[in-house]
Amino acid sequence: MTLTLQVGIIVGYLLLALAIGLVAYRMTDRTAEDFYLASRTFGTIVLLFTTFATLLSAFTFFAGPNVAYHEGPEWVLVMGLMDGIIFAILWYVIGYKQWLLGQRYEYVTLGEMLGDRFASRRLRGVVAGVSLLWLFPYVMLQQVGAGTALQALTEGAVPYAVGAGLITAFMILYVVVAGMRGIAWTDTLQGAFMLVTTWVAMIWVLAVVGGPGAATAALEAEAAQHLALGSDHYTVQWMLSTAIVIGFGVAMFPQVNQRFFAAGSRTVLKRSFALWPILCVLLFIPSFMLGAWARGLDVAVPEGGNVLPAVLAAFTPGWFAALVIAGAMAAMMSSSDSMLLSGSSYFTRDLYRPFVDRSLSERREDLLARVGVVIFATAALGASLLTPATLFELGDAAFSGFAQLALPVLIALYWRKTTRAGITAGILASQLFYLTTLFVGSVVAAIELVGSVLGELALVGPVVAGLEPTLILLVTTVFRDAYLGWTAGLVGMGLGLVVTVGVSLVTTPAAEERRTIYFDGLSAD
């Protein structure tokens, strides 16, 4: 009976979101701009909560509490405070100027905005390709999160593959039907719902265990180091690197970046970014503190599992745990649906239209976008079933990958001397550097394998054989261990900044570049 109730609550909540999407479908124009941006009509509450819910992902509800459980509650400072403030600033510095440009030139994607300024469809394609590359693992993250959450909540009765498939089917149906308008409406519902249920969950658990004092005392008894600020994990360099990379990465997420174009007015945009840090703190405190306190509450967390479902199962009734997980899955769906919508716009407008069919009609683009959603989501599901990485690994890779775009874009928005060659080189250099750091382990393993095979075949002498450890040291030093505690993502951002500025200074702008459109007649007050 409990299992039936839990599954019923989750499915019922998802059906409610789908019903809202169907209502939105009846109000949606069959144009690309309405499908992607709801005709640029968002008010303050809708813009704030659709951006908020778009970022409420498996990384927030499962990866974050897991980090707090294993390493301590300083994760609240990184995500809740530092990252919230950094992104709010970028919302103004990047987002407001994008909104001004979108109002004047009707841009829908970041690639369109950059491609128009630098008169380059190749740059447009590079931005779209890079964005789709990093969007893929973040969609996977939602599917992995949904699968593991349902599996844990039902104690294995609903397998991982079924949970991942369930949320994929719902988000495909929902995005294809609803478009941006329906997504924004349900995001507003889901954002408010998750704020309330997360706080209720924390209060409920604390009431059962005897209050925050008892929970903190239990944590101190189990892991006293968690109550001391700083650790081998939470170094100053790591915390600053992570907060900066996540903040800048969020600003370049397609589903977030496009919302900069969707505000109904400048007042709406300004109110939204001013309220953003408050919402971050309100959400992350209860979810991450639950993860930290669980370390001292004798909660049985399965190896490789997520702590939040385990805490809820241990201290709250089954129906309430299912309600919170349903909300978390809805939050994952609100992230995934926005990602799929944005991903389809990047594909149709920045890849298909300029490189395949420049005469693509509005109605045909609308159809192509919906088909693209199905293909992208299905491919991500297949990858999540074959190679389910950890939630933190997937999220961290995506944030850092998107962050590599941020500084070249920021420079282009505010520095007239940026050239096409400069921004293209900056984006490619930082992306190649960061991609290389992700595969250092594979490179080292390949070097060791080749050395082992050659050694067994007696094809190398002692001098050549001595090159193996030297090569391994060189690779790990250059791409992983030479940053003095700073992360590879932050180092890559710095590289992109230097290359963009340096190449722009030594190259001549192309004759067709529109060097003044980011400045003339724009009043970014």
According to DSSP, the residues that pair with 42 across neighbouring strands are 263
Return the number of other C-beta atoms located less than 10 Å from residue 452's C-beta.
Answer: 11
More confident residue, 490 or 363: 490
Q: What is the mean pLDDT of the chain?
A: 80
Listing DSSP states for 217-284 in one string gives HHHHHHHGGGGSS--SSS-HHHHHHHHHHHHHHHHH-HHHHTHHHHBSSHHHHHHHHHHHHHHHHHHH
More confident residue, 508 or 32: 508
More confident residue, 403 or 359: 403
Residue 461, pLDDT > 50, answer no
More confident residue, 486 or 122: 122
Q: Is 462 helix (H, G, I), strand (E, B) or coil?
A: helix
Cβ-in-10-Å burial (0-12, 13-18, 19+) of 442 comes to: exposed
CA atoms of 223 and 121, how far apart (whole Å): 55
Does the residue 446 lie in any domain? no
Q: Is 42 helix (H, G, I), strand (E, B) or coil?
A: strand
Does the residue 481 lie in any domain? no
Token representation of residue 465: 């054989």
Does the residue 421 lie in any domain? no
pLDDT digits (tens, 9 = 90+) for 148-186: 777 776 777 778 888 888 778 877 877 777 677 777 777
CA atoms of 12 and 177, how far apart (whole Å): 18
Number of separate domains in the chain: 1
Does the residue 504 lie in any domain? no
CA atoms of 147 and 160, how far apart (whole Å): 4
Does the residue 460 lie in any domain? no
| Range among 233-237, 377-381, 400-404, 405-409 with highest mean pLDDT value | 405-409
User: Dmax over Cα atoms in the chain, in whole Å?
Assistant: 74
Number of residues that make up the chain? 525
Half-sphere exposure of residue 131: CA atoms within 13 angstroms, side-chain side = 31
List the CATH number of the domain containing 147: 1.20.1730.10
Q: Tell me what pLDDT residue 282 has.
A: 85
More confident residue, 495 or 1: 495
- Band of the pLDDT at 460, cuts 50, 70, 90? very low
Does the residue 313 lie in any domain? yes
Q: Tell me what pLDDT residue 1 has.
A: 46
Q: Tell me what pLDDT residue 394 has.
A: 61
User: Could you give phi then psi for residue 473, rounded to 5 degrees?
Assistant: -65, -40
pLDDT digits (tens, 9 = 90+) for 363-403: 777 778 778 888 888 888 888 777 655 555 666 778 889 99
Residues 9-28: what's their mean pLDDT? 72
Q: Tell me what pLDDT residue 428 has.
A: 94
CA atoms of 248 and 291, how far apart (whole Å): 25
Q: Whole-prediction pTM value?
A: 0.83
Q: Tell me what pLDDT residue 441 has.
A: 54
pLDDT digits (tens, 9 = 90+) for 34-69: 777 777 888 888 888 888 877 766 667 777 888 888
What is the residue range of 129's domain?
A: 2-388
Residue 93, pLDDT > 70, answer yes
CA atoms of 441 and 466, how far apart (whole Å): 20
Return the number of other C-beta atoms located less than 10 Å from residue 49's C-beta.
Answer: 26
Q: Tell me what pLDDT residue 429 has.
A: 93
425 Cβ contact list (under 8 Å, min separation 6):
499, 500, 503
More confident residue, 370 or 424: 424
Cβ-in-10-Å burial (0-12, 13-18, 19+) of 471 comes to: middle
Q: Tell me what pLDDT residue 463 has.
A: 44
350-to-116, 120, 261 alpha-carbon distances in Å: 11, 11, 16
The answer to whether 79 and 64 have CB atoms below 8 angstroms apart is yes
pLDDT digits (tens, 9 = 90+) for 270-282: 888 888 888 888 8
430-to-47, 351, 417, 427, 434 alpha-carbon distances in Å: 31, 22, 20, 6, 6
Q: Is 13 helix (H, G, I), strand (E, B) or coil?
A: helix
Does the residue 485 lie in any domain? no
What is the torsion angle, in degrees rounded to the nearest 10, for the CA atoms of residue 373, residue 377, residue 378 and residue 379? 110
